[in-house]
Amino acid sequence: MSFESTDELRILADEPRLQSLFLLLFRHEGYFTSMRLAEELGVTSRTIKSDILLLKQIFHTEDIFIASKPSKGYKLEVTDKGTENKIKQFFQIFPSISSESEFDHRVRYVIRRLLSADEPVKMEDIQAELSVSFSLNHEMQEVKKMLAKYDLHLKSRPHYGMYIEGALFKKIMVTVRMYRYFDKSINNDFGITAYNQLFSCDELEKTAIRGTFYETIIHSRIVFSDINAERFIIYLLYFRNQVLQERSLQLSLPTIDFDYRATDEHGLVVELIQKLKIKFVGFDFSDEVVQFLTYIAIFSTDLYRFVDCSKENYNTLVSLAEEIRNFILKGVSQYLQIDIFDDYTCLKDLLKIMIPISLKIKLGVSDSIDLRYKDFKNEGTQSLIRYYSSLIYQNFFSTYGYSFSEREKQLIFSTISGVINRISLSHRKLRLAIIAIDGRLATQPLKFNLQHYFSEFIERIETKVLYELETLENQKFDYYLCSDYGKKLNITCEPIFYIEEEMDEFAYTDSLKHIFFQAYDYDKKLPDILLKNISSVDKKAFNKVTTETFIQNEAVQVHFDLNAKEEEFTIFRVVESVDEKKYYINIKTQIAGEKQKLKMLVNIIDRIMAAPLKLDTVNSEQTISYSHFLID
């Protein structure tokens, strides 16, 4: 692709939707599914697929092209660094905004502009500053959603402008959140002078302030993550600038049932402010600001040690934290049909997460931090758990009015998924017979590898020649193993597994995994797998038998019911075209407290969602084993 005239990029400049799609792919390192792209751009998945075809026609050289993979989606490949730089130059993509979409950039610009203005702001002024001629209605809806997390409201008066209404401490929290990336190595310029000035500080002085903070926190029992530590410093700079500008702040902190002075975080804040007042000007903070900074410190504390989660430290927060933790655990138990209250690790870890959240609930804010490189929308594992977790988040908001951030959702999900990961699948030990067609000595390498790598799965191994097996009475084995040459003989032993000759020990172990998955008895504990081929016009038959609860990716849609009266695992294969297939899987089962059965189901769904191509090799005429999906 030649960028001498940048004609290809100018085509995008005349097509806003194509340009947005191109830039979204350009800024994302991994693959994007069409559903994810549709969600980001507010269009349908069909529209995305149509636009991708257009982009492929525009960009189709060695330097720049769009790659696609089943179930993973699309990825823009730019193989030449010079081409990448020219794209950045053409679209004026700079580091400060390179990790967010144009839409996100506009939303955050509006919020920063409104929060840093001393008077109402007119919409036409914002449009001019952003150099856009189109309506910002969609962006303003997102602005209102963000403000709602802090119980703030966007007000507008004709010929007067827009402004934000609500408690000052909540406005300050949103103001700092819009700083967004708490990275000490980056000097952010947000393109809004008034907003930049809220956090302005000489670099040498900022380094010294940071050093004082580090020295103080290191000698306390309190631990912040690096990101939370940098955010706390941003709060310090904000309040310091207010003092330097002689602005009197009335934060309007509510009266809540919580003695913040009893916390170690309060001691840390008081000690830190005293040290800063000695070394620098501008740290003569009011008692209300110290109280507020204590709250921020509690939000930021890394509660790694469970012993710290005591009523002595957090008094009334602990009771609320236990209440909301139990609310979540009860929901998980009901949805998954198992009791997870007996998982002590989950009880402890979830309480640690809920202590700062309980304070935010008392204050009426849904506050969090944004991480630059972490993609919390990646749902590649434990899709079943993620689905039910999303329902719990909704129920939690309905009950407590608190909206979890993507980061908090990930923490909660990780804690819940830990329960599933700690479920140990029991397995029986197998009795194996090695058929020695070429003599017993030839079977020694196989027997050694079986005993060395799979001893926990083996009750006993016996080496037999065929005539011994034919004459032995009441001799039954779980599995028979034979060299590949045995396929040419009339061997009636079942089930049998043929092993290729001249394999090294690693190839042995990889090929033998198939056998030992049988020891877990997936096929006995889960419903029989059925395959039905249906036409694209015959989906009505499918819709009659599926449940409303489902998860999906590009190739597979899995419907499930964990409290069904009848067992079913049916794969519906719909052939859309010669090269495109769609699978709908209907799963009905009764978990009824069987944790191992649940873990098996989670494993199977994950494997299918991760490798849908395995469904292409399933034949309706054969008995389908779950090991087909479990083995790479």
pLDDT digits 0-9 by tens, 122-155: 999 999 998 888 889 999 999 999 999 999 999 9
- What is the pLDDT averaged over residues 306-328? 94
Percent above pLDDT 70 for the chain: 89
- At 538 the pLDDT is 65
- At 159 the pLDDT is 83
- What is the pLDDT averaged over residues 248-272? 95
Q: Residue 446: pLDDT above 70?
A: yes
- At 186 the pLDDT is 58
* Sequence-separated (6 or more) residues with CB below 8 Å from residue 571: 529, 530, 531, 532, 583, 584, 585, 615, 618, 624
Say which range, 212-226, 316-330, 497-511, has the weakest mean pLDDT.
Answer: 497-511
Contact 595, 423 (CB under 8 A): yes
CA distances from 625 to 433, 477, 521, 546, 629 (A): 21, 19, 10, 22, 8
Q: What is the DSSP letter of 428?
A: P
SS3 per-residue string spanning 185-213 = CCCCCCCCHHHHHCCCCCHHHHHHHHHHH
**How many whole angstroms separate alpha carbon 430 and alpha carbon 426?**
13
Tens-place pLDDT, residues 323-377: 999 999 999 999 999 999 999 999 999 999 999 999 999 999 999 887 654 444 4
Contact 553, 609 (CB under 8 A): yes
Tens-place pLDDT, residues 479-499: 999 888 888 888 888 888 888
- What is the pLDDT averaged over residues 460-483? 85
pTM above 0.85?
no
Residue with structure tokens 């010079």?
Answer: 82
* Sequence-separated (6 or more) residues with CB below 8 Å from residue 86: 3, 6
Q: Residue 504: pLDDT above 80?
A: no
Q: What is the DSSP letter of 382?
A: -
Say which range, 355-359, 537-541, 607-611, 615-619, has the weakest mean pLDDT.
Answer: 537-541
- Which tops the pLDDT comparison, 243 or 134? 243
**How many whole angstroms separate alpha carbon 495 and alpha carbon 432?**
10
Strand partners, 583: 556, 573
Q: Residue 182: pLDDT above 60?
A: yes
Half-sphere exposure of 101 (CA within 13 A, CB side): 18
- At 374 the pLDDT is 45
Q: Residue 415: pLDDT above 50?
A: yes
**How many whole angstroms separate alpha carbon 283 and alpha carbon 268?**
15
pLDDT-derived band of residue 264, with 50, 70 and 90 as boundaries?
Answer: very high
- Which tops the pLDDT comparison, 486 or 17? 486
- Average model confidence (pLDDT) across the chain: 86
- At 139 the pLDDT is 92
Report the alpha-carbon angle 244-248-254, nearest 5: 130
Axis crossing angle, helix 595-610 with helix 406-421, rounded to the nearest 10: 120
Q: Is 82 exposed, middle or buried (0-12, 13-18, 19+ CB in 10 A)?
A: exposed
- At 542 the pLDDT is 65
Say which range, 130-139, 176-185, 601-610, has the weakest mean pLDDT.
Answer: 176-185
- At 65 the pLDDT is 86
- At 505 the pLDDT is 67
Strand, coil or helix: 513:
helix
pLDDT-derived band of residue 473, with 50, 70 and 90 as boundaries?
Answer: low
- Which tops the pLDDT comparison, 254 or 471? 254
